[in-house]
Structure 1
Amino acid sequence: MARTRPDVTFLAPRAASARLSRRALLAGFGVAGLGALSACGTTTKMAASPPTDGKLESKLNLYSWGDYDAPELIEAFKSKYDVLVQVDSYGSNEELAAKLSTSRGTSGYDVVVPTGSNVPQMLNHDLLQELDLSLIPNFEHIDDNFKNQYFDPDNTYTVCKAWGTTGFVYNTTKIDRELTSWQDFVDAAQKEAAGTTALLEDPWEVSAIALAAMDVSLNTEDEDELDRARTIVVDQLAPNIKAYIGNAATGMIQGSFTMLHAFNGDARQGLSEVKDPENWKFVFPTPSANLWTDTWAIATGAPHPDSAHAFINHMISPDTAVEQLDYIGYPIGTKGLEEQAVKADLDERDLIFPAQEVLDRLEPSKQTPADQIRTKIFADAQARSGA
């Protein structure tokens, strides 16, 4: 890992390596949502940021997931603009929201990185301030697939930072038929991969396997559909599960699994590190799967708004996109990034960039009241598995 310069300060311990994925961290927190924040009711008006005037402040405070940006890019921003960058990290969207809520606009943080599904509730509590897109000209380079998403239809508050999806990876020497769907996954988990299957440690994603196999919305709130999903997860999958994991790459390398539920970037990492990559296949399953998006945003009351806008603009530049992709393992949503990845000869590009027909059938996860049901399904599955 590259060394950091002394004027780029990391306050919290960073991950041991870039190999501890941000999605692995998120998986451990499941879909508890911002329930505690909601219980507090609507917040009163937060402290405001100073007005932007185009002149960059001398400091920037970034609050993000651990080890989620190439250090060289942060250093380049500091060098170009002579801005001291201070980085602090969190492990869940709940931790981010709690910090911003309790400080009431005086957290001192400028740029934050919420997951898209958490943005609506953060906006309800006035935790994010509007962006001035005229100060982020590189926004024009963001792919249309990642603009105007349901959680921020006009990109008033957020810009895509990174995105990915969920599928599964299996050992073709143990499963000699082609698996293409979530129903195939459920079937194989009970047959060839019985006792050697891993699921993500994420209640939403685990329920999504069953809901997709049923060909219903992954965000359904219908109790009958969720009850059917419970039967699939608890009665069919759970008895055959060896472990619930955060990062499929670790399981692939460890070698005792036949099939693993996986985020695409983590599967790519595993394929780059296993001794027998030719024996593994990743699947973007039909009929649907999660499309998750992490976003750049500016905290309400940010003390350095001009530097914050300049930093976001710097980090989504096409000139830095491949370096960021190579470091964090996921694309950042800029146009033409796949072509750049080809020129850079990055491996397993088909796992990084799903085909448009795959993108067209993905469904972004949303926070709903039914998340409590999903959490109970997950807990019951773990108890049934004994894993």
Structure 2
Amino acid sequence: MSRDNNVRILASHAGARAIRQELSRRHFLSLAALAGASAALSACGSGGGGGESSAVEPGAGATGGPVEKSLSIYTWGDYDSPEVIDAFGKTGPKVTLDSYGSNEELISKLVAAKGTSGYDIVVPTGVYIPQLIENDIIVPFNKDLIPNMAKVDPQFLGQDWDPENEYSVCKCWGTTGFVYDTTVIKRDLVTWNDFIDAMQNEASGKTSLLDDPQGVAGLYFWANDIDWNTEDMADYDAYEAEAVEKWAPHIAGFDSYPATGAMQQNTFALMQNWNGDSRLGILEHKQPDRWKWVLPGPTTELWMDNWCIPTGAPHPEAAHAFIDYVLEPENSFLEMDYIGYNTGIQGIEEMAKERKVELPEMIFFTDEQLATMKNGAVNEAQDRRTEVYDKLKAAASA
């Protein structure tokens, strides 16, 4: 976990790509994922030994020998550039992608497999990495085989969950804000309190919140400048009272993917959403100028997903080769351009400007904006958070 819940990181020109329909990593903060992953890790105890007794082999056995002919990646749906995957495949390994919709699904599968999952690379969210390390679910890199790690911006390295980047390296990161229809809401919205006010006024009956207990709770805590990782039950009582009694009558839906449908059909006028998905929705809309993206204050979230190698990876040479390959700036740019999230490579913002990537302000953020972003946490408030969320959904009948 990060000190004081802060994460020390920052954080298309090729043409708008087809809107994504399958599940994507944006569900990673769902309550089920948080609680389920914690339960799975707790149940597995110290996994393959953990701590001082760990027998996990550094580099998963990779020594720089011949790259195997196969590579299996277990990741969030539609989360990698097909161009990058295809190009790497031409270097030798046949790449297979399997997808999951939550950290719970990822962790539960790896725990049950006990090192026999068959996967070579996984992409967990940062807050889970200490538990994955402790339970020997991921293994240390052979960093000699990933020289392109030196091309990652130092601000994206040395996170508190893995200070030496022994087990993980940034894949990408993002944040939460909202978009609104300026033909319906004609005033400027700037803060989460503005969002809540518009939800109860101009956008009443046309507001969508994330289908995500943690993100919806965050809306209340961010608006009230309360640490969104609070475990104080009095904070949740106040959140429940406001959400169930005041918000519910105005909510039309809980949708983590409005850009893939509802936004194009103008179903909602106000949508809480992640920056990359909102960007896609605007780029794909017939009237893109109709929509305005807001990174609201006073605080909001920040998440970071990471390349890792699971215990028992059958193709460790190929795993290291791929991670090094995707950290090459040109390949990282293609990843960023496809998914719409910052990949953390040095100079990638300058590359985006030179190549005239559309809506770069929805990918790259200023130091002042970064200062408002706080990382989530796995903690003891999960059950209460979900209880309030369920009551809100029931009251909204959405």
TM-score, structure 2 normalization: 0.88
1:107 Cα deviation after fit? 1.5
Distance 2:384 2:130 in 1: 20
* Residue 34 (str. 1) matches residue 45 (str. 2): no
Farther off after superposition, 86-95 or 261-270: 86-95
List aligned pairs for 1:220-369, cutoff 5 A. 220-249=230-259, 250-369=261-380
Which residue of the partner structure matches residue 78 of structure 1? 89
Instruction: Give the distance between the partners of 2:241 and 2:327, measured in 1 at CA.
Output: 43
Aligned to 1:141: 151
- In structure 1, what is the Cα distance between the partners aligned to 2:41 and 2:244? 29
CA-based RMSD of the aligned residues comes to: 2.0
Deviations 1:96-131 (A, max 9, x none): 111111111122211111111222332232211112
Q: What does 1:47-196 align with in structure 2 at a 5 Å threshold?
A: 48=56, 51-55=61-65, 56-80=67-91, 82-196=92-206
Residue deviations 1:175-200, cap 9 Å, x none? 22211111111111111111110000
Aligned-residue offset at 1:314: 0.6
Letter paired with 1:71: P
Query: Per-residue displacement from partner, 1:68-101 (whole Å, max 9, x unpaired)?
Result: 2112212222223x22222222222111111111
Structure 1 residue 215 corresponds to structure 2 residue 225: yes
- SS of alignment partner, residue 251 of structure 1: coil
Q: 1:84 to 1:43 in 2, by over 3 A?
A: same
Tell me which moved more, 257-266 or 92-101: 92-101
Alignment check: 8 A CA contact 1:27 1:201 kept: no
Identical amino acids, percent of aligned pairs: 41
Separation in 2, partners of 1:102, 1:209 = 35
Shift of 1:159: 0.6
**Is there any run of 5+ residues in structure 2 with no aligned partner, and where?**
1-17, 50-54
Query: Do 1:48 and 1:301's aligned partners in 2 also have CA atoms closer than 8 Å?
Result: no
Distance 2:269 2:382 in 1: 29
Selected match of 1:22 from 21, 24, 34: 24
Q: CA separation of 1:85/1:203 partners in 2, compared to 1, >3 Å: closer, same or farther?
A: same
Q: CA deviation at 1:26?
A: 3.9
**1:44–1:351: structure 2 CA closer, same or farther, 3 Å change rule?**
closer
1:67 is paired with a residue whose SS is: coil
Secondary structure of 1:170 counterpart: strand
Write the letter of the residue equivalent to 1:241.
I
Check conservation: 2:23, 2:76, Cα contact below 8 A.
no
**Whole-angstrom distance in 2 between the partners of 1:193 and 1:253:** 17
Q: What SS class does the counterpart of residue 191 from structure 1 fall into?
A: coil
Taking the aligned partners of 1:144 and 1:240, their CA distance within structure 2 comes to 44
State the Cα deviation string for residues 49-81 of structure 1 (Å, max 9, x = none): 55222112332221112222112212222223x
Please tell me the residue identity of whatever aligns with 1:141. Answer: K
Q: Distance in 2 between matches of 1:149 and 1:33?
A: 24
| 1:321-367 per-position Cα deviation (integer Å, ceiling 9, x unaligned) | 22111222222111211111122222111111122211122001111
Checking the alignment, whether the CA contact within 8 Å between 2:34 and 2:104 is kept in structure 1 is: no
Cα distance in 2 for partners of 1:128, 1:258 equals 43
**Aligned residue for 1:381?**
392
Counterpart secondary structure, 2:264: helix
Q: Deviations over 1:112-162 (max 9, x none)?
A: 111112223322322111122222111122223322223222222111111
SS, match of residue 375 in structure 1? helix
Letter paired with 2:208: A
Unaligned runs of 5+ in 1: 1-15
1:45 correspondence with 2:48:
yes
How many angstroms apart in 1 are the aligned matches of 2:43 and 2:23?
Answer: 32
Partner secondary structure for residue 32 of structure 1: helix
Distance in 1 separating the partners of 2:343 and 2:23:
15
In the alignment of these two chains, the number of paired residues is 371
CA deviation map 1:296-317 (0-9, x unaligned): 0000121222221111111121
